[in-house]
């Protein structure tokens, strides 16, 4: 400990003299702890003269080490560890360590914390209080966030505890090192050399996640291989669990339904077969011997070709409950995904998950939670909230967001997802009347569930900057912050992220936040305006393919989703169509069931309309569609201008990367616009509105584009 501290102190003394010495390659994420200006530096040092901690557990060591590293980076001086509270100390305490704690810790739970500027024996101190070491670690990260974002350090009074219990990353990482829908290089899990070699990156992963409150990670792809449950791979997972444990992060595994057959030759995977249940019980026992705090299983069953209990004429509940019984004695849980749709089901794909799961409400074991994607299709730039939210009051539902941008520009587009997450969490299901937001469904407060969760499909890879670009880091950050506190605004999160990632200087923060806040809407505009959806090209989902109609399953084809022809465009999900609206609570169904009350952002999701349909602006649907494509492209051009002006204020490497990626984004936004217009115009036969340029190429050119090595498509 002392040796490490010594290194940091020396490092910082050096850094003091060399503000530009280190290339800003993005590896440090929002934990850069960049040197503050002189006044702030002195302020920081005065409010971190020493650190008092109630022990030296691995978690407390992580907390104090992070505080030392942070203060040293920002102020130039690392605070020492002290047994005695002194003026200006950071005082970490629990009720057990300090019985006369001047802060109540009731209500903070096992992960929350309070931070208060207070007095102790006549000395001004900053008290970080919690019921547990993990709570103190979270509090330490909160204080460091305050320190990095220019907050006042002499009048802190904060209480914070998460309302959602499970705040998880889902890694769609394959055992061969590739990442499904990964756009940031190979998997960061070096499965081959685990558990022997546990490189320093695993610790940095844990630090980053702990700093935003993530408390669990599903290590392998939901399209799972049975091998992840073999003894060697359990040992590898245990190696990672050992690294993550001090940071309050549990590991979980995705499991393949037919593992008992593949690994041990069972004749069936029928969940009601006692031999199958015994196999899973023994497997759970084996895992818990290696990982005593193992979190549990995530299951993708009977979905997109994966096997599952329906293969044996059993229900999802039968399957989930059998697995739940296996992990129950160890305190584990099962997360059962509701992302299902069947090739032989002619009904609207948007309805199928509800149809399958709604009847199972109340039939799941108490350690099962059903994991529902934010929308009913598949992580589109915009989707109405999933109809299952609010529809299964007897069943805990957890949210599945996608942080990796499969449908939102992949590695290079700047499309901040905080606004997407916020929009979904704030959506009102009306399940128990007005105010029944999705956030209240998943935090358990609407229906009184104790088991609560939220998952994000990780955008993390072996690229030096973790997420494929600096701005993609903001999506990871925003997911964690909102998972901890769904009441935060996407804008406030963008602001604190920008302050920590670039600089607290408003000259930087203001334009960066402006860019971010409109960026996802811009992608909606240039990709899927007015409620269009899933018009991405086949398989890799990179670029436009609204004309695609030749895929094996109807609901894989873009034409299935937009239903454009000479007369009009859109998917009628009202009573005259698939009646998907009836899956929502009556006020919601009524709103979306009527074209007049449907927000235009959702228009073509719910309605099939004539090209000449009048939008609220008075323009025709066709003209409005084209104008939105134009607007999306223009927004990207605007971001380019804003970013260019930041050149004097951003380090060269990150400036150049972002500038390059904005150039790519602008080119591709134009491509999206042009290809979409070329195709839809071939159906609508309408002229472009005045001022809108014709596509650069003819439709056949766009159809001929091929991307055989597009990333993330395994």
Active-site residue, 378 included: yes
Instruction: Convert residues 376-415 into a mask of x (bound to a second copy by CB under 8 A) and - (unbound).
Output: -----------------------------------xx---
> Which lies closer to a second copy via its Cβ, residue 231 or residue 566?
231
Active-site residue, 28 included: no
What part of residues 157-176 is at the interface with a second copy (CB under 8 A)?
175-176
In angstroms, the CA 84 to CA 582 distance is 64
Near a second copy by CB under 8 A, which window of 178-186, 415-423, 504-512, 610-618? 178-186
Near a second copy by CB under 8 A, which window of 3-11, 147-155, 276-284, 505-513? 3-11
> Which lies closer to a second copy via its Cβ, residue 174 or residue 419?
174
What part of residues 7-26 is at the interface with a second copy (CB under 8 A)?
7, 10-11, 13-23, 25
Among 348, 406, 423, 428, which one carries the catalytic annotation? 406
In angstroms, the CA 236 to CA 234 distance is 5
- 710 binds a second copy per the rule CB under 8 A: yes
Task: Among 58, 102, 107, 199, indicate the residue that binds a second copy (CB under 8 A).
Answer: 199
In angstroms, the CA 26 to CA 32 distance is 9
**Which residues, in sequence order, are bridge partners of residue 158?**
115
Q: Which two tokens stand for residue 409?
A: 């520009």
Q: Which two tokens stand for residue 119?
A: 């007095």
What part of residues 427-486 is at the interface with a second copy (CB under 8 A)?
462-464
DSSP 17-84: H-TTSS---STTTT---PPPPHHHHHHHHHT-SEEE-S---HHHHHHHHHHHHHHHHHHS-PPEE-SS
How many other C-beta atoms are found inside a 10 Å radius of the C-beta of residue 276? 23
Instruction: Convert residues 60-99 into a mask of x (bound to a second copy by CB under 8 A) and - (unbound).
Output: ----------------------------------------
Q: How far is the CB of 46 from a second copy (least distance, A)?
A: 24
**Which residues lie below 8 Å from residue 486, measured CB to CB, with a gap of 6+?**
163, 164, 425, 439, 442, 443
Q: How far is the CB of 152 from a second copy (least distance, A)?
A: 30
> Which lies closer to a second copy via its Cβ, residue 231 or residue 552?
231
Q: How far is the CB of 76 from a second copy (least distance, A)?
A: 12
Q: How far is the CB of 21 from a second copy (least distance, A)?
A: 4
Separation of CA 316 from chain center: 25
Active-site residue, 450 included: no
Among 304, 579, 638, 653, which one carries the catalytic annotation? 304
In angstroms, the CA 93 to CA 57 distance is 13
In angstroms, the CA 414 to CA 411 distance is 9
Contact 120, 85 (CB under 8 A): yes
- 264 binds a second copy per the rule CB under 8 A: no
Among 24, 43, 111, 378, which one carries the catalytic annotation? 378
Q: How far is the CB of 22 from a second copy (least distance, A)?
A: 8
> Which lies closer to a second copy via its Cβ, residue 563 or residue 697?
697
Task: Among 86, 110, 118, 227, indicate the residue that binds a second copy (CB under 8 A).
Answer: 227
> Which lies closer to a second copy via its Cβ, residue 76 or residue 444?
76
For the chain, what is the largest distance between any 2 Cα atoms, rounded to a whole number of angstroms?
80
- Write out 297-323 in H/E/C secondary structure: EEECCCCCCCCCHHHHCCCHHHHHHHH
Task: Among 1, 192, 576, 644, indicate the residue that binds a second copy (CB under 8 A).
Answer: 192
Q: How far is the CB of 682 from a second copy (least distance, A)?
A: 26
Q: How far is the CB of 20 from a second copy (least distance, A)?
A: 5
What part of residues 642-701 is at the interface with a second copy (CB under 8 A)?
653, 657, 660-661, 663-664
- Report the relative pairing of strands 368-373 and 296-299 from DSSP bridges: unpaired
Q: Identify the helix (H) or strand (E) that includes residue 589.
A: helix 586-593
Rg for the chain (alpha carbons), in Å?
A: 26
Q: How far is the CB of 171 from a second copy (least distance, A)?
A: 15
**Which residues lie below 8 Å from residue 323, measured CB to CB, with a gap of 6+?**
255, 271, 280, 297, 299, 334
Q: Assign 207 to helix, strand or coil.
A: helix
Near a second copy by CB under 8 A, which window of 196-204, 328-336, 477-485, 499-507? 196-204
Percentage helix, strand, coil for the chain under 3-state DSSP, each rounded to 5: 45, 10, 45
- 197 binds a second copy per the rule CB under 8 A: yes
Q: For the chain, what's the residue count?
A: 714
Catalytic residues: 304, 378, 406
Binding site for a second copy (CB under 8 A): 7, 10-11, 13-23, 25, 175-178, 185-186, 191-193, 196-197, 199-201, 227, 411-412, 462-464, 653, 657, 660-661, 663-664, 708-711
């Amino acid at each position: 400990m002392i040796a490490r501290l010594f290194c940091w102190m020396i490092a910082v003394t050096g850094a003091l003299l060399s503000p530009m010495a280190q290339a800003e390659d993005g590896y440090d994420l929002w934990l850069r702890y960049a040197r503050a200006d002189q006044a702030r530096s002195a302020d920081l040092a005065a409010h971190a003269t020493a650190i008092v901690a109630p022990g030296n557990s691995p978690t407390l060591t992580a907390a104090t080490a992070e505080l030392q590293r942070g203060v040293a980076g920002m102020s130039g001086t690392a605070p020492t560890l002290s047994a005695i509270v002194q003026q200006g100390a950071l005082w970490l305490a629990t009720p057990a360590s300090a019985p006369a704690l001047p802060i109540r810790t009731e209500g903070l739970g096992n992960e929350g914390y309070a931070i208060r500027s207070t007095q102790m024996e006549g000395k001004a101190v900053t008290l970080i209080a919690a019921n547990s070491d993990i709570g103190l670690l979270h509090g330490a990260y909160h204080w460091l966030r305050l320190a990095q974002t220019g907050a006042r350090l002499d009048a802190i009074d904060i209480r914070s505890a998460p309302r959602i219990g499970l705040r998880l990353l889902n890694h769609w990482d394959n055992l061969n090192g590739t990442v499904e829908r990964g756009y940031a290089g190979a998997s960061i899990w070096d499965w081959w050399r685990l558990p022997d070699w546990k490189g320093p990156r695993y610790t940095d992963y844990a630090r980053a996640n702990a700093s935003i409150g993530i408390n669990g990670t599903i290590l392998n792809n939901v399209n799972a291989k049975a091998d992840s449950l073999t003894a060697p791979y359990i040992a590898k997972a245990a190696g990672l669990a050992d690294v993550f444990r001090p940071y309050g992060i549990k590991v979980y595994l995705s499991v393949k339904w037919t593992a008992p057959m593949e690994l041990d030759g069972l004749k069936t995977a029928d969940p009601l077969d006692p031999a199958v249940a015994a196999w899973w019980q023994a497997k759970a026992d084996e895992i818990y011997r290696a990982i005593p705090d193992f979190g549990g299983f995530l299951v993708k069953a009977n979905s997109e070709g994966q096997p599952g209990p329906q293969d044996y004429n059993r229900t999802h509940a039968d399957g989930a409950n059998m697995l739940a019984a296996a992990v129950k004695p160890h305190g584990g849980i099962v997360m059962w995904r509701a992302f299902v749709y069947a090739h032989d089901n002619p009904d609207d794909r948007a309805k199928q998950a509800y149809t399958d799961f709604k009847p199972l409400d109340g039939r799941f074991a108490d350690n099962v939670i059903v994991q529902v994607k934010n929308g009913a299709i598949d992580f589109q730039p915009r989707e109405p909230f999933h109809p299952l939210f609010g529809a299964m009051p007897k069943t805990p539902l957890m949210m599945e967001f996608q942080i990796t941008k499969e449908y939102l520009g992949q590695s290079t587009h700047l499309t901040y997802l905080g606004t997407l997450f916020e929009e979904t969490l704030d959506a009102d299901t009306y399940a128990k009347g007005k105010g029944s937001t999705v956030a209240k469904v998943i935090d358990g407060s609407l229906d009184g569930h104790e088991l609560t969760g939220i998952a994000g499909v990780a955008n993390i890879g072996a690229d030096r900057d973790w997420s494929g670009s600096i701005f993609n880091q903001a999506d990871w950050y925003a997911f964690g912050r909102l998972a901890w506190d769904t009441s935060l605004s996407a804008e406030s999160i963008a602001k604190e992220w920008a302050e920590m990632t670039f600089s607290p200087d408003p000259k930087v923060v203001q334009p960066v936040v402006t860019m971010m806040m409109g960026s996802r809407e811009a992608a909606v505009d240039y990709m899927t305006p007015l409620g269009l959806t899933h018009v991405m090209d086949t398989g890799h989902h990179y670029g436009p393919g609204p004309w695609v109609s030749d895929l094996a399953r109807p609901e894989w084809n873009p034409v299935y989703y937009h239903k454009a022809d000479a007369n009009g465009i859109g998917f009628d999900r009202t009573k005259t169509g698939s009646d998907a609206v009836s899956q929502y609570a009556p006020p919601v169904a009524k709103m979306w069931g009527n074209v007049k009350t449907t927000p235009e952002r959702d228009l073509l999701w719910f309605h099939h309309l004539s090209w000449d349909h009048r939008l609220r602006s008075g323009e025709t649907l066709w003209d409005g569609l084209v104008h939105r494509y134009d607007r999306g492209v223009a927004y990207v051009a605007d971001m380019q201008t804003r970013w260019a002006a930041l050149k004097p204020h951003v380090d060269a490497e990150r400036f150049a990367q972002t500038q390059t990626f904005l150039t790519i984004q602008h080119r591709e936004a134009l491509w999206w616009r042009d290809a979409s217009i070329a195709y839809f115009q071939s159906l609508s036969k309408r002229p472009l509105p005045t001022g809108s340029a014709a596509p650069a190429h003819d439709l056949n050119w766009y159809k001929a584009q091929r991307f055989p090595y597009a990333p993330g498509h395994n």
